[in-house]
Chain A
Amino acid sequence: MTEPVHTWADVDGHLEIDCDVCIIGSGAGGSVLAAGLAAHGHDVVVLEAGGNFTRADFHGDESVAYPRMYQERGARASAEVGITVLQGRTVGGGTTVNWTTCFRTPDRILERWAEVHGVRGWSPSDLAPHFDAVEDRLGIATWDASRANANNKVLLDGCEALGWQVDPLRRNVRGCVNSGQCGTGCPIDAKQGMAITYLADARENGARVYAGARVDTLIVEGDRVAGASVTMHDPTTDQPTGATMTVRARRTVSSAGAINGPALLIRSGLDRAPLGRRTMLHPVVALPALYDRPINGFYGAPQSISSHEFVDRGADRVGYFLETPPLQPMLAASGSTIFGRSQQEFMRQLPNIGVLIALSIDGLVDGDEGGVVTLRNDGRIHLDYPVRPALVEAFRDAHRSMARIALAAGATQVQSTHLDPVVVTSEADIARFDDAPFGLLEHSIFTAHQMGGCAMGDDPARSVVSSELAHHDVDDLYVVDGSVFPTALGVNPSETIYGIAHRAVDILHATL
């Protein structure tokens, strides 16, 4: 029997539930795991802090979508607000609002996890059958370059003109009509996000899903975790309703994602080094440019082309990969640091603006420890992410590369997001980036990929969970999400999380 998604309105007073497996989070990790375990006949409960928003709620209205479906009402940021954190918080997690880009984990990353981070059993061949399965279920396939929007064609044409590696990328869509609204929820369910795929599969097999169910703490009893304590929230206001739940389970799984997952373990008294450390963000710098032709980057698949020309720049330099963002007005404006009439005049040119983004691959260079998640005294999450010299160098080099691509694709003017924007109209101007300041609060920095903080590995001094994803210190607690990555990936992370969760089904099933 298919279970409905239970919401805050379905829970009055206090509800006690027993189950085999309690999964905290309904995103890329939790949903795939829930589907697999429910198919094995296990009694699964999924707790999702965000609301149960579906296609009927998705109108492409940024003013509604970001406060509803992103962390901290869309305002999550690093401690000094230097890095804007785009992170989903809704049924389906980030997969409901992500930009659908799918890559398998690069072999070089999995090999590094084994060689440097003591991770066993996650080789490319171990993961391959799991990637095959999720690609089939989610319709992951190459998006034909002929359907790329003009913003992505800039990346394609510019890289080809420069002789740089560039390819169409793969997306988890079926029947996509290029609305461009991936980031605010797909209005036609073309995106094969978790809510309409694996989470629906789990519900068909009896899994109970609760939306608006925020886990305050894990229930720690002696040396084991016995479930979760929940307060219900109205997701449109994010205020507690007064209702509570206690979920008791044979196994408890944190699939709350990077940042929130480590914070949950800290709240639960399970703080132990290196929890929260080595939080990776794929820090993003963006470079807008003007074209004398329409770009209309607010329509069309946000990402359909990527370049990995600069992912490996040597052992001592931070690599980066190149993609594009959607350009609806709010997101486009959020990348600029100017204000007042000058911003109005900039935004007036929106249909002719293209934007390239460079995502830096953190955690691979010696001394690059990423960021640290802790809790403030008032319970809020504190994300400290220093921009170290190696990252500054990568930001600078990425600006040069993006400017060259834009110029090669016919940009009439490139204008950086610096407080004092760097303007480039020819190759000779690119040297202007040499003296520009790079770092926190000097220009816009984003992250849409939160990883690490709960690393897996066999050495308890350097990891939080084992290679089998079991917590090193307490029994019956597992972590299945992007927080277990020991490093960033160099590709968009959703498919890696799907693959890890798909294999985690076997791991958890064997213990039940």
Chain B
Amino acid sequence: MGLTRRQLLKYGAGGAALLALGGIGLSLQRTITRTPRAELAALSEREFSILAAVADRIAPGGDGFPSAWDAHVPEKLDALFATMHPGAVDELKQALALLENAAAGLLLDGRTSTFTGSSGDEQDDILQAWRTSNLQVRRTAFKALNGLIGATYWSSSDVFAAIGYPGPLALNAAADEDPT
């Protein structure tokens, strides 16, 4: 799009308006839902399902890794959101809606399907486009979602074996061992 950095930052001020696009026409579209394995505390089932779809592209698993779904990342994030400032959670929900929304996707990217209705490769392409977008609000939304999903996934003991991390030393009771 050839926007300069300064223009990009300027458009950032309109991020709230762009995020609001995510709501347009979304009620008419069908989100492919997933059934949460715990009672939801912060997200609707639709929001949960979009988040779960994103999480499974951020951390798809395989080759010894659990997927984000296997590691219960969506439910853990829902529980975390219930303890965060409602204003911050609202922005995340708006980002999920904009990501899912095929109408907004058509307007901004020429995409005609919802995020949850896209194939895995298509979902990766969408996330990659957001990650490197010239619209600051999209880079911000990607970084926020990627950060929260990644933090939840990589702090899960389910991934330790795959990355060769023996886990924290159990030191509360007694300690006389230097692991280095």
Give chain A's interface residues, CB within 8 Å of chain B. Answer: 55-56, 58-63, 66-67, 72-75, 77, 80-82, 84, 147, 149-150, 177-181, 184, 187-188, 237-239, 296, 298-300, 328-330, 332-334, 337, 339-341, 343-344, 347-348, 350-351, 376, 378-380, 419-420, 439, 441
Contacts and interface: CB of A to CB of B under 8 A. Distances in A.
Contacts of A329: 154-155, 159-160, 163, 165
A49 to B, nearest CB: 13
A215 B6 CA distance: 38
A84 B144 CA distance: 10
Contact-residue bracket for chain B:
35 or more
Contacts of A56: 172
B179 A179 contact: yes
Interface in B20-48: none
Contacts of B132: 419-420
B147 A179 contact: no
Contacts of A67: 80, 83
A177 B176 contact: yes
Contact of A75 (B84, B154, B180): B84
B155 A61 contact: yes
Contacts, number: 168
Contacts of A81: 140, 143-144, 147
Interface stretch (B58-66, B101-109, B110-118): B58-66
A63 B156 CA distance: 7
Contacts of A300: 179-180
B88 A380 contact: yes
Nearest to B76: A63
Interface in B146-180: 146-148, 150-157, 159-160, 162-165, 167-172, 175-180
A351 B165 contact: yes
A239 B83 contact: yes
A172 to B, nearest CB: 18
A348 B162 CA distance: 6
Contacts of A178: 178-180
Contacts of B144: 77, 81
B39 to A, nearest CB: 15
Contact of B151 (A181, A188, A330): A330
B87 interface: yes
Leading 3 A-B pairs by shortest Cβ distance: A60-B168, A63-B155, A62-B155
B58 A340 contact: yes
Contacts of B65: 344
